Amino acid sequence: MLDTTAINQRMTRFDGHEAVWLFGYGSLIYKTDFPFLERRPAQLRGWERRFWQGSHDHRGTPDAPGRVATLVPREHALCAGMAYRITPATFAPLDHREKNGYLRLATTLTLDDGREVEGVVYIATADNAAFLGPASDQAIARQIAAARGPSGPNRDYLLQLAHALRELGADDPHVFALERALRELPLHAPA
């Protein structure tokens, strides 16, 4: 299975730093199973959230992958998420968690108090082996409804993310359209 851990561990840019900001836009918004010093809502400019990444390890299996969020570039887009101040030691468990195609990218994020800070975001780009790319909202919702993996049903990932985005006051037409499409599916619909 795809494993980006070794590549990410070669990213030593923040090694000497006392703390680093991490931008979370998917499960990292609502599933905080890692230590952090501080957390604040934040935004990332030039990227938008899409359920275009396959999940073979968390919300699906190698035979029946789920779909999870990644970011795709778009000029002037603003992606809402949560920023965490972490120590560089926390990259080890995060690299493991995000190993199915996500690479650490250094970037600038805007915190909710207006500060622009240097930070890191995990992005699964279109050239990774687990990338699935676009599909209709209905097709994505059907795939999500049918998938489950070691971290639980794929549907919970989508519903928890939509809930967390609402709590942040974020408007995300893509995520909310998928949530609607999922809720409109008959229960136990075939994939």
Ordered DSSP codes for 29-41: HH---S--SEEEE
Task: For residues 72 and 49, give the distance between their C-alpha atoms in angstroms, rounded to a whole number.
Answer: 7
The CB-of-187 to ligand SIN minimum distance in angstroms stands at 25
Residues 54-93 that bind ligand SIN (CB under 6 A): 68-69
Q: Give whichever of 94 and 146 is closer to ligand SIN, judged by the CB atom.
A: 94
Task: For residues 180 and 60, give the distance between their C-alpha atoms in angstroms, rounded to a whole number.
Answer: 21
Q: Tell me if 26 contacts ligand SIN by CB under 6 A.
A: yes
Measured between alpha carbons, how far is residue 102 from residues 2, 8, 57, 97, 106 in Å?
10, 9, 12, 9, 13
Q: Which of 75, 98, 116, 167 is catalytic?
A: 98
In the residue annotation, 179 being an active-site residue is answered as no
Per-position x/- string for 88-127, each x denoting binding to ligand SIN as judged by CB under 6 A, each - no binding: ----------x-----------------------x-----
Q: Tell me if 20 contacts ligand SIN by CB under 6 A.
A: no
Beta bridge partners of 66: 55
Task: For residues 50 and 119, give the distance between their C-alpha atoms in angstroms, rounded to a whole number.
Answer: 21
Instruction: Please choose, out of 3-11, 18-26, 37-45, 135-143, the segment that lies near ligand SIN by the rule CB under 6 A.
Output: 18-26
Task: For residues 77 and 70, give the distance between their C-alpha atoms in angstroms, rounded to a whole number.
Answer: 14
Element (H, E) at 144: helix 137-146
Q: Give whichever of 143 and 189 is closer to ligand SIN, judged by the CB atom.
A: 143
Return the residue nearest ligand SIN (CB atom). Answer: 26
Q: Tell me if 28 contacts ligand SIN by CB under 6 A.
A: yes
Binding residues (CB under 6 A) for ligand SIN: these are: 24-28, 68-69, 98, 122
Known catalytic residues?
A: 98
